[in-house]
C-alpha cells in the first residue's frame, strides 16, 4: 500500500516554522490590548471610572461601551450579548473596558487603576437555582413519539433517575487572539483565531457600524479549537477590530492562559431527570427525560447544544415511546459554548446511565442489553428520521470480538474475587452520532481554486485548519480530481475576501462541506482543461478520446497512458486559449430539514457508528485508577486518509477520558473559576493513556456518506471516553452495588462514592 | 543600555554570553526575563511556543547543553520559567536549530511519519523533549520516554502517534545520530566557558517585575551579595518564583540565583549523611548513585514531582525554601530527620527541618541566610520508608495530600503529612501511638483528628481527612505485605 501523505503543514510544524497568529514580529506602532475584567458575577454598574487608566504613561486609549460606533451587540442566535455591558454585569471576568498601550505590562498595570462602582445583584451559578427561578433563554423544547405516559404505566419495570455531567475547559494550546491591521484606511484586516470567519466579519461590521466588506477576516491556522473558537473567538476579534478602528493603529489582543480559562465559556454541564420503562428481558418500552444545561450568562450556542443533546438522548437504541424535553438555563458564568460533541455526549451519557441501571436491576449482561435495544434499519428516531444503513449492532458485535468480551468478564470477576483493595470494571459504549449542523442553513460551503501558469495550484475554502487536517484532506480531494502531486497543491488560509459567508468549521462537517466545494471547483477546472487536453492529444498523438485521466501531474487518454500531456504544458496552453484557470465551487448538503415546533424532521445527513469497551483497575484506598485496555471499533466508511482519522479517534477518546475522569471545573462563591490554569485544571498527559489501546477503523460502504464515500470523524469518537467512566462505576459497584459515582470520576469522587 | 561597572570587580551587567543553536551570542537582557521571552520577543525565533507561561504545558520546551561534573548534559527545560540569566555559559538549542522543513531532523521526520502532529502548537515542545531524551540515553525504554514527555501536553493527538514515533526513534537511533554535528562542535567550548558573576539590573523606570537579578559565580560571591542585599529573594531553579512573576505578576526587588554555583551542585557523603547542595536539581538526585543506594524512596518520589523539564532545574532546596504545605518532598524529608545547613556571610548553622517550618509558607531562614546544604542521615537499611502522593493526574500534578512514613525495627516510627495543615507536619499521635501490635485503623482515625485540612481547588477537607486514613491504611498494606 502506498504511503499516506504527511500532514500538509507537518514539515512546518515539526521544524517550528509554522506561524500562528502573534508569531510575527510586532508591527511598528502596534498597540497591545488588555482588559478590565469584572470582579463581580452579577451587578448593576453605577460608575466605571477609566480616567486613571487613561492618564497612565504609555497608555494610548481606554475604550468602553460608550465608545462603540455601531451597535453594542455581539449576540448571534439571540441578540442578548453586548461587547461591553453598559448597565448589567453578567459574569465574573466579563470585559468592561479595553486598554490599549505600548506594551502588555503597561496595559495590565493601567487596568488595575480602573474603578468600578456597582450594585451587586444576586448571582445564579447552578442549573438547580436557574430552574427554580425559571431562567431560560427560550421556552422548553420538546421531541416526542408514541405515548410515553401510557407505556411507563404498562411497563413491567420503571426506574427513575438523575444524571449529571460536568463542564470542560477546551484547553486549546493556543489562547484566544486576534491581530487587527488597518489597510488602505477603509479595510480592517483581522488575523483572527476563529472557527467562524463569517460570524466575526458580520459582528465586527455591526459593532463598528460599517459594511461587512470592510472587514477582512483571515485565519492562517489555529493552535487547536475544539469548538472553543466557534463563538468564543468573536468577542476578542471584535475587540481588536474596535481598537484598530478607533485608534488607527495595529492592535493585538492575546489572552494569557489564566485569562482565557477564567473568562471564556466551556462545555455545558447538563442535569437530567429521567424515567425509563422496560420489560423483564430489558427491552426498553418508554424513555421520558428532561435535559437541562447550564448556558452561562448569554445564550451563545446553548439552544443548539441543547437540541443536539436531545437528538442524542436515544443514542443508538430504538424506543417506541419517547418524550425528550429540554431547557437551557441562564446563569452568571461565562457563556458556555460549543465543545466537541456539542451536547451529544451529555445526551448519550444519560441513556447509558439508565441502561447501566437496567442491567443492574435485571442482572443482565450490559452488552446483551444494548444489543437487544439497538436500532434496526427502518426504525424511526424520536425526531422522525428514518434509520437506514445502521451498523450499531455490528459495531457492538465487532468490538466484543476484538476485546474478547467473555474472557474479559471472566478475568475481571476472577481478579475481583482475589483482591481486596483493588477492583476492576468494564464499560461498554456504543455510539450513533448524527452528522450535519442541525440548523439546516449552515450546511453550505464554498471553495475557490486558482491554477497558476506553472501548473501549481492554490485552493481556498471557507474551512479553518485547526489540526484536524482539513487542509490535508482538501489537498487530497483536489489531487484526486486533477491528478496533481500533493506538493503542487497549496491550501490557503481561510479568508472572507476569497471565500465569504463561510459556515463555522464545526459539527464535524469541515471535510464534507468544504471538501465537496473544493471537489466541485476542481471538477470545473478539470472540465475546462479536458477540452484543451483533447485538442493537445489530438495534435500531438492523433488521439481522439472522451475518457481522459488526470494523474501523476499528467493528462492522458485512458487507453493510451504512455501518450500524455504534462499538466504545466496543459495549463499554459489553456491560458493561451483564454480558458479560465480559476473556479468557484459551492456545495449545500441535500435533504435536511427540521421543524422545531413539531420536533420532527430529517436533521442529519447520515450517522456515524462505533463502539468501545474499556477495562479499568481501581485502588479502593487511593481512589486512583488505571485504564488497562480500551478497544474501539469505529465505522470509517471510505476514509480519505486513515492516519488522519486514527488521530481524530484517539485524540477525541483521550480528550473525553479527561472530561470523564480528571477535568474538574471549580468555582468559588463569587462565580470565579478557581481551576484557571494547568496547575489546577488537569487535562490528560502522556501517562494517562490506556495500557493497551486498540482502535480498528472499519471501512464500510455507505450511500449516504459524503465526499468520496467518506464520513465525518471529528466528534463521534469523543463518546468512547465515557466507556471509562462506566467501567469505573462498574468497578465501584463490584464492592458497593448501590454506590453512584459522580462526574468527573476523580480520585476524590471515587473515594466519596466508596465511603 | 548603559553598562555600569562596580570599581574593582569583574561584575558584568545586563550582558550574557551563551551559544544559541551552535552560534555564540553576547546579548543584553532585562532582569528576570524568561528564556522563552528572550527567544521569541528579542531574538524573533517563533518556534518556541507560549501556552501556559507557568511550566505546566511544555509547549515552550527547549534544550540546554551544559558542562556538569566533567561531562556535557543535554536537558529539556520549560523556557517560560527558566530565567534567561541562567543561560550564561550554556548552549541553548531550540526547534529551529534541529532541522528545517527541507532538512528534517530524524525526530521531526518520525513525528511526521506517524502523524504525531495535528494543530502543531505543542509540537516544537515535543520535538525538544524527545531530543533531550534521545541525546542522553541510547535506546531509551518506554518508561524513559514517558518520563521525557510527561511534561508536554497535547490536546489533539491523544499521544499515541507521538509515542509510536518515539518508540521508532528509540529503536533506530542513538545519540550519535540524534546529536547534530554543530552541537558536538560546541561541546568542548562549554568546558572552557568562564563562569563570571552576573548582575542584571533594570535600566530605568519601567514595569519589569524584577529590579535586580544577581547570579554569583562562587560561594563567596553569593555571601557577599546576600550581605549587600539581605532582603533579597533566593532563586535556585526558579520554578516557583518565575510562576509568581509570570502569572501572579509579583514584583521582586532583588533575586539572587544560586543555581549556577558549582559548590552547591554537588551530592556528597559524610558521616552525618548525604549532603545535597542547594543547587542540585531533582534530576541530579535521581541520577545520583549515592541517592539510589541509600535514599531509594526519595529517588522514587522525585519521579512524581512536576515533570522532567522542571525536575531538570527545580531543586529540593527550592521545595524546602518555598515551604508550601503541599511541597511533595517535605513529608519524606521530615521522616528522614533531615537537617539543613544555613549559611550567611559571617556564619553557618544547622537547623532540623522540623524546626524550619514555622507557619504557612514561613520558615526560620533569617535575612542574609541561605540554604547551603540539605543533610539527610542515612536510615538503617531495615527501616520501612515510603511516601504517597494523592493528586488528580498521575504525573505533573500538585498533591492534594502527600505523606511519608518510617518504621524502624525497634518500633520507632514517624509519619508526616502535607496538604492537611498550614505547613508540612509530623504526626505526634503516630510517633507516640505506634507499636508493632497497633490497631492501624484506630490509629489512622486518631491521626486524622490531629490535622486541620481545608477545602480548595485540589480537594475538599472531607476528602483530605479521608485520605489521611487511607494513606495510613495503604502503608499498613505495604508494611505487612
Three-state SS across B441-462?
A: HHHHHHHHHHCCCCCECCECHH
CA torsion through residues A731, A732, A738, A740, sign: negative
Q: In this complex, do B101 and A12 lie within 8 Å of one another by their Cβ atoms?
A: yes
Task: Read off the pLDDT of each residue in A12-17 and give the average, rounded to a whole number.
Answer: 98
Give the DSSP letter string of A87-114: SEE-STT-EEEEEEESSHHHHHHHHTT-
- Mean pLDDT, residues A403-410: 98
Residue ranges of B 67-106 with Cβ closer than 8 A to chain A: 94-96, 98-102, 104
**A270 within 8 A of A278, measured Cβ to Cβ:** no
Is domain A10-122+176-254 in CATH 3.90.1170.50, yes or no? yes
Q: What is the pLDDT of residues B227-261, one digit of tens each?
A: 999 999 999 999 999 999 998 889 898 999 998 88
Q: Give the mean model confidence (pLDDT) for residues A175-180.
A: 98
A47 C-beta neighbours (distance < 10 Å), count: 8
User: How confident is the prediction for chain A on average, in pLDDT?
Assistant: 97
Question: How many other β-carbons are positioned within 10 Å of the β-carbon of residue B248?
Answer: 11
d(CA A219, CA A194): 7
Tell me which chain A residues have a C-beta less than 8 angstroms from the C-beta of B249.
Answer: 108
pLDDT of residue B200: 73
Q: What is the CA radius of gyration of chain A?
A: 27
CA B447, CA B433: separation in Å to the nearest integer? 9
pLDDT digits (tens, 9 = 90+) for A549-606: 999 999 999 999 999 999 999 999 999 999 999 999 999 999 999 999 999 999 999 9
The model carries a pTM of 0.97
**How many Å apart are CA A211 and CA A214, to the nearest integer?**
6
User: Between A468, A678, A747, which is nearest B56 by CB?
Assistant: A678
Longest dimension (CA), chain B: 72
Cβ neighbour number for residue A536 with a 10 Å cutoff: 20
A693 touches chain B (CB under 8 A): yes
B171 touches A: beta carbon within 8 Å: no
Nearest to A610 by CA among A416, A447, A435, A489: A435
Bridge partners (DSSP) listed for residue A177: A254
CA distance A685 to chain B (A): 6
Record: contact B158-A624, CB cut-off 8 A:
no
CATH architecture of A444-588: 2-Layer Sandwich (3.30)
DSSP code of residue A512: I
Which of A623-637, A639-653, B11-25, B239-253 shows the lowest mean pLDDT across its residues?
Answer: B11-25
Q: Give the minimum alpha-carbon distance from A640 to chain B in angstroms, rounded to a whole number.
A: 15
Rounded to the nearest angstrom, the minimum Cα separation between B117 and chain A is 7
Res. B205: pLDDT tops 50? no
- Chain A to chain B Cβ contacts (< 8 Å): 241
SS3 state at A708: helix
Catalytic, A129? Answer no
B88/chain A closest Cα distance in angstroms: 24
How is the beta sheet containing B384-390 ordered, strand by strand?
B384-390, B401-407, B413-418, B425-426
- Over the stretch B55-69, which tens digit does the pLDDT of each residue have? 999 999 999 999 988
Cα–Cα distance measured from residue A200 to residue A212, given in angstroms and rounded to the nearest whole number:
10
Spell out which residues of chain A touch residue B46, defining contact as CB-CB under 8 Å.
16, 19, 23-24
pLDDT tens digits, one per residue of A317-342: 999 999 999 999 999 999 999 999 99
- Is B160 in Cβ contact with A650 (below 8 Å)? yes
Is the CB of residue A683 less than 8 Å from the CB of residue B397? Answer: no
Residue B1 has pLDDT above 60, yes or no: no
Kindly list the domain boundaries of chain A, sorted by start residue.
10-122+176-254, 270-438+596-754, 444-588
| pLDDT for position A350 | 98
pLDDT of residue B3: 40
By CB atoms closer than 10 A (0-12, 13-18, 19+), residue A29 is: exposed
Fold agreement (A10-122+176-254, A270-438+596-754): no
Partner B contacted by A113 (CB < 8 A): no
Taking CB atoms and an 8 Å cutoff, what residues of chain B touch A256? 53, 247
Query: What span, in angstroms and rounded, lies between the C-alpha atoms of B469 and B467?
Result: 5
Chain A interface includes B119 (CB < 8 A): yes
Write the CA distances from A625 to A165, B389, B401, integer angstroms. Answer: 20, 14, 17
- Which of the following is catalytic: A411, A715, A740, A748? A715
Nearest-CA distance A9 → chain B (Å):
8
All residues of chain A having their beta carbon less than 8 Å from the beta carbon of residue B144 are none
**Tell me: domain A270-438+596-754, CATH 3.40.30.10, correct?**
no
The minimal CB distance from B52 to the residues A257, A622, A652 is found for: A257
Residue of B56, B96, B146 with shortest CB distance to A679: B56
The H-or-E segment that residue A270 falls in is strand A270-278
Report the gap between the CA of A623 and the closest CA in chain B (Å): 9
Cα dihedral A471, A472, A475, A480 sign: negative
Q: Three-state SS for A24? A: coil
Model confidence at A142: pLDDT above 90: yes
Name residues 206-245 of chain A within 8 A of B (Cβ): 221-226
A621 touches B: beta carbon within 8 Å: yes
B303: burial class by Cβ within 10 Å (0-12, 13-18, 19+)?
Answer: middle
Q: What percent of chain A has pLDDT over 70?
A: 100
Asked whether the beta carbons of residue B117 and residue A174 sit closer than 8 angstroms, the reply is no
Give me the mean pLDDT over the B322-339 stretch.
96
Question: What pLDDT, on a 0 to 100 scale, did the predictor assign at position B8?
Answer: 34
Chain A nearest CA to B473, separation (Å): 7
DSSP state of A138: S
| Reported confidence tier of residue B197, pLDDT bands at 50, 70, 90 | low
Whether the CB-CB separation of A671 and A332 falls below 8 Å is answered with yes
Write out pLDDT tens, residues B410-425.
889 999 999 999 999 9
| A25 touching B (Cβ < 8 Å) | yes
What does pLDDT average to over chain B? 92
The stretch B286-305 carries a mean pLDDT of 96
Contact list, B53 vs chain A (CB under 8 Å): 256-257
Q: Going from the N-terminus, what domains does chain B have, and what CATH number goes with each?
A: 15-192 (3.10.20.30), 390-480 (3.30.390.50)
Yes or no, beta carbons of B156 and A651 under 8 Å apart: yes
Nearest to A480 by CA among A686, A709, A649, A647: A709
Percent of chain B with pLDDT over 90: 84
Best residue in B106, B251, B393 for a mutation probing chain A (most A CBs within 10 Å): B393
Q: What is the pLDDT of residue B394?
A: 87
Interface of B with A in 192-211 (CB under 8 A): 207
For chain B, the residue count is: 481
Q: Where are the alpha helices (DSSP H) in A39-98?
A: 51-55
Q: Say yes or no to pLDDT of A511 above 70.
A: yes
Query: Does A483 have pLDDT greater than 80?
Result: yes
Query: Can you say whether the dihedral through the CA atoms of A125, A126, A127, A133 is positive or negative?
Result: negative
Peptide bond preceding A744 in cis form (omega within 30 of 0): yes
Joined together, the cell numbers standing for residue A301 give: 450556542
pLDDT exceeds cutoff 60 at A517 = yes
The ipTM value here is 0.97
Interface of A with B in 451-480 (CB under 8 A): 466-469
Q: Concatenated DSSP letters for A227-263?
A: TTTTSHHHHHHHHHHHHHHHHSS-EEEE--HHHHHHH
Considering only CB atoms, which chain A residues are within 8 Å of B33? none
- Asked if the Cβ–Cβ distance from A172 to B158 is below 8 Å, we say no
Amino acid at each position: 500500500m502506498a504511503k499516506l501523505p504527511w500532514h500538509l503543514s507537518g514539515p512546518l510544524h515539526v521544524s517550528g516554522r509554522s506561524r500562528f497568529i502573534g508569531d510575527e514580529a510586532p508591527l511598528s506602532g502596534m498597540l497591545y490590548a488588555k482588559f478590565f475584567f469584572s470582579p463581580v458575577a452579577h451587578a448593576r454598574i453605577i460608575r466605571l471610572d477609566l480616567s486613571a487608566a487613561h492618564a497612565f504613561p504609555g497608555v494610548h486609549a481606554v475604550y468602553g461601551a460608550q465608545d462603540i460606533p455601531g451597535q453594542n451587540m455581539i449576540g448571534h442566535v439571540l441578540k442578548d450579548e453586548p461587547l461591553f455591558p453598559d448597565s448589567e454585569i453578567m459574569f465574573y471576568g466579563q470585559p468592561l473596558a479595553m486598554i490599549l498601550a505600548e506594551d502588555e505590562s503597561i496595559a495590565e498595570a493601567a487596568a488595575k487603576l480602573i474603578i468600578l462602582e456597582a450594585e451587586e445583584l444576586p448571582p445564579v451559578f447552578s442549573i438547580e437555582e436557574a430552574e427554580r427561578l425559571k431562567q431560560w433563554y427560550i421556552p422548553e423544547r420538546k421531541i416526542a413519539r408514541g405515548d410515553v405516559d401510557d407505556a411507563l404505566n404498562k411497563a413491567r419495570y420503571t426506574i427513575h433517575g438523575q444524571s449529571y455531567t460536568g463542564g470542560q475547559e477546551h484547553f486549546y494550546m493556543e489562547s484566544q487572539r486576534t491581530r487587527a491591521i488597518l489597510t488602505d484606511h477603509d479595510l480592517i484586516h483581522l488575523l483572527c483565531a476563529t472557527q467562524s470567519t463569517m460570524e466575526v466579519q458580520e459582528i465586527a461590521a455591526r459593532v463598528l457600524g460599517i459594511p461587512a466588506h470592510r472587514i477582512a477576516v483571515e485565519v492562517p491556522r489555529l493552535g487547536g479549537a475544539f469548538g472553543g473558537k466557534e463563538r468564543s473567538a468573536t468577542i476578542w476579534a471584535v475587540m481588536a477590530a474596535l481598537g484598530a478602528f478607533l485608534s488607527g493603529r495595529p492592535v493585538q489582543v492575546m489572552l494569557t492562559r489564566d485569562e482565557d480559562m477564567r473568562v471564556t465559556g466551556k462545555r455545558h454541564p447538563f442535569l437530567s431527570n429521567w424515567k425509563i420503562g422496560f420489560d423483564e428481558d430489558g427491552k426498553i418500552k418508554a424513555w421520558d427525560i428532561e435535559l437541562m444545561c447550564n448556558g452561562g450568562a448569554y445564550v451563545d450556542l446553548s439552544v443548539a447544544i441543547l437540541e443536539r443533546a436531545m437528538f442524542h438522548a436515544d443514542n443508538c437504541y430504538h424506543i417506541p415511546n419517547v418524550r425528550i424535553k429540554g431547557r437551557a438555563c441562564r446563569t452568571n458564568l461565562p457563556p458556555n459554548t460549543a465543545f466537541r460533541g456539542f451536547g451529544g455526549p451529555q445526551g448519550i451519557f444519560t441513556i447509558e446511565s439508565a441502561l447501566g441501571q437496567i442491567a443492574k436491576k435485571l442482572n443482565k449482561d450490559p452488552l446483551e442489553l444494548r444489543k437487544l435495544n439497538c436500532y434496526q434499519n427502518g426504525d424511526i428516531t424520536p425526531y422522525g428520521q428514518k434509520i437506514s444503513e445502521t451498523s450499531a449492532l455490528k459495531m457492538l458485535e465487532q468490538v466484543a470480538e476484538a476485546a474478547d468480551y467473555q474472557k474479559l468478564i471472566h478475568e475481571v470477576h476472577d481478579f475481583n474475587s482475589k483482591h481486596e483493595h483493588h477492583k476492576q470494571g468494564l464499560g461498554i459504549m456504543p455510539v450513533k452520532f448524527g452528522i450535519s449542523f442541525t440548523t439546516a442553513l449552515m450546511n453550505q460551503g464554498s471553495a475557490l481554486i486558482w491554477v497558476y501558469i506553472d501548473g501549481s495550484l492554490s485552493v481556498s475554502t471557507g474551512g479553518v485548519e485547526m489540526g484536524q487536517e482539513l487542509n490535508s484532506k482538501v489537498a487530497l480531494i483536489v489531487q484526486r480530481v486533477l491528478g496533481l502531486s500533493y506538493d503542487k497543491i497549496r491550501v490557503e488560509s481561510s479568508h472572507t475576501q476569497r471565500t465569504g459567508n463561510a459556515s463555522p468549521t464545526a459539527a464535524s462537517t469541515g471535510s464534507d462541506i468544504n471538501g465537496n466545494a473544493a471537489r466541485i471547483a476542481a471538477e470545473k477546472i478539470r472540465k475546462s482543461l479536458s477540452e484543451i487536453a483533447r485538442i493537445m492529444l489530438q495534435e500531438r498523438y492523433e488521439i481522439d478520446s472522451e475518457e481522459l485521466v488526470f494523474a501523476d501531474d499528467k493528462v492522458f487518454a485512458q487507453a493510451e497512458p504512455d501518450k500524455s500531456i504534462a499538466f504545466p504544458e496543459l495549463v499554459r496552453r489553456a491560458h493561451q486559449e483564454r480558458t479560465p484557470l480559476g473556479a468557484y465551487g459551492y456545495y449545500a448538503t441535500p435533504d435536511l430539514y427540521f421543524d422545531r415546533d413539531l420536533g420532527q424532521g430529517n436533521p442529519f445527513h447520515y450517522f456515524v457508528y462505533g463502539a468501545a469497551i474499556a477495562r479499568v483497575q481501581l485502588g479502593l484506598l487511593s481512589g486512583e485508577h488505571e485504564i488497562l485496555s480500551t478497544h474501539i471499533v469505529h465505522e470509517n466508511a471510505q476514509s480519505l486518509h486513515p492516519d488522519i482519522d486514527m488521530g481524530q479517534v484517539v485524540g477525541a477518546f483521550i480528550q473525553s477520558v479527561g472530561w470523564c475522569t480528571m477535568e474538574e471545573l471549580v468555582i468559588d462563591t463569587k462565580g470565579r473559576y478557581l481551576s484557571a490554569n494547568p496547575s489546577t485544571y488537569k487535562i490528560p498527559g502522556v501517562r494517562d493513556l490506556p495500557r493497551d489501546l486498540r482502535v480498528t477503523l472499519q471501512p464500510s460502504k455507505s450511500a449516504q456518506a459524503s465526499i468520496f464515500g467518506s464520513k465525518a470523524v471529528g466528534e463521534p469518537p469523543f463518546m468512547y471516553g465515557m466507556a471509562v467512566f462506566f467501567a469505573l462505576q462498574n468497578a465501584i459497584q463490584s464492592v458497593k452495588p448501590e454506590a453512584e459515582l459522580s462526574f468527573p470520576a476523580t480520585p476524590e469522587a471515587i473515594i466519596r462514592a466508596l465511603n | 543600555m548603559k553598562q555600569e561597572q562596580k570599581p574593582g570587580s569583574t561584575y558584568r551587567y545586563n550582558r550574557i554570553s551563551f551559544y544559541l543553536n551552535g552560534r555564540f551570542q553576547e546579548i543584553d537582557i532585562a532582569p528576570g526575563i524568561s528564556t522563552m521571552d528572550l527567544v521569541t520577543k528579542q531574538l524573533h525565533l517563533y518556534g518556541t511556543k507560549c501556552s501556559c507561561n507557568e511550566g505546566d504545558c511544555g509547549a515552550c520546551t527547549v534544550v540546554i547543553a551544559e558542562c556538569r561534573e566533567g561531562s556535557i548534559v543535554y536537558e529539556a527545560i520549560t523556557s517560560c520559567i527558566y530565567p534567561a540569566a541562567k543561560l550564561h555559559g550554556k548552549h541553548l538549542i531550540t526547534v529551529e536549530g534541529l532541522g528545517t522543513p527541507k532538512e528534517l531532523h530524524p525526530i521531526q521526520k518520525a513525528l511526521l511519519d506517524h502523524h504525531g502532529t495535528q494543530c502543531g502548537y505543542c509540537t516544537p515542545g515535543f520535538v525538544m523533549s524527545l531530543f533531550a531524551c534521545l541525546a542522553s540515553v541510547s535506546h531509551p525504554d518506554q518508561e524513559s520516554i514517558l518520563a521525557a514527555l510527561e511534561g508536554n501536553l497535547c490536546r489533539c493527538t491523544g499521544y499515541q502517534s507521538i509515542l509510536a514515533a518515539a518508540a521508532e526513534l528509540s529503536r533506530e537511533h542513538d545519540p550519535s545520530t540524534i546529536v547534530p554535528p554543530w552541537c558536538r562542535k560546541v561541546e568542548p567550548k562549554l568546558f572552557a566557558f568562564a563562569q563570571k558573576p552576573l548582575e542584571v539590573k533594570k535600566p530605568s523606570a519601567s514595569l519589569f517585575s524584577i529590579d535586580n537579578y544577581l547570579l554569583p559565580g562562587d560561594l563567596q560571591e553569593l555571601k557577599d551579595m546576600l550581605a549587600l542585599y539581605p532582603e533579597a529573594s533566593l532563586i535556585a531553579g526558579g520554578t516557583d518564583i518565575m510562576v509568581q512573576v509570570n502569572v501572579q505578576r509579583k514584583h521582586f526587588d532583588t533575586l539572587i540565583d544560586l543555581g549556577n554555583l558549582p559548590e552547591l551542585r554537588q551530592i556528597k557523603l559524610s558521616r552525618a549523611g548525604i549532603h545535597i547542595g542547594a543547587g542540585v536539581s531533582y534530576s541530579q538526585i535521581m541520577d545520583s548513585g549515592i541517592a539510589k543506594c541509600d535514599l531509594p524512596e526519595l529517588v522514587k518520589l522525585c519521579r512524581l514531582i512536576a515533570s522532567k523539564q522542571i525536575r531538570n532545574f527545580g531543586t529540593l532546596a527550592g521545595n524546602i525554601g518555598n515551604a508550601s504545605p503541599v511541597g511533595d518532598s517535605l513529608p519524606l524529608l521530615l521522616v528522614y530527620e533531615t537537617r539543613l545547613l544555613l549559611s550567611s556571610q559571617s556564619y553557618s548553622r544547622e537547623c532540623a527541618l522540623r524546626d524550619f517550618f514555622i507557619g504557612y509558607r514561613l520558615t526560620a531562614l533569617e535575612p542574609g541566610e541561605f540554604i547551603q546544604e540539605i543533610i539527610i542521615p542515612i536510615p538503617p537499611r531495615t527501616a520501612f520508608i515510603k511516601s504517597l502522593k494523592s493528586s488528580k493526574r498521575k504525573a505533573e500534578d500538585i498533591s492534594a495530600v502527600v505523606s511519608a512514613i518510617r518504621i524502624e525495627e525497634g518500633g520507632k516510627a514517624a509519619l508526616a503529612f502535607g496538604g492537611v495543615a498550614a505547613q508540612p507536619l509530623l504526626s505526634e499521635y503516630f510517633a507516640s501511638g505506634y507499636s508493632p501490635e497497633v490497631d492501624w485503623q484506630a490509629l489512622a482515625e486518631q491521626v486524622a483528628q490531629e490535622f486541620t485540612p481545608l477545602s480548595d481547588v485540589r480537594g475538599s477537607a472531607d476528602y483530605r481527612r479521608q485520605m489521611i486514613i487511607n494513606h495510613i491504611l495503604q502503608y499498613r498494606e505495604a508494611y505487612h505485605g
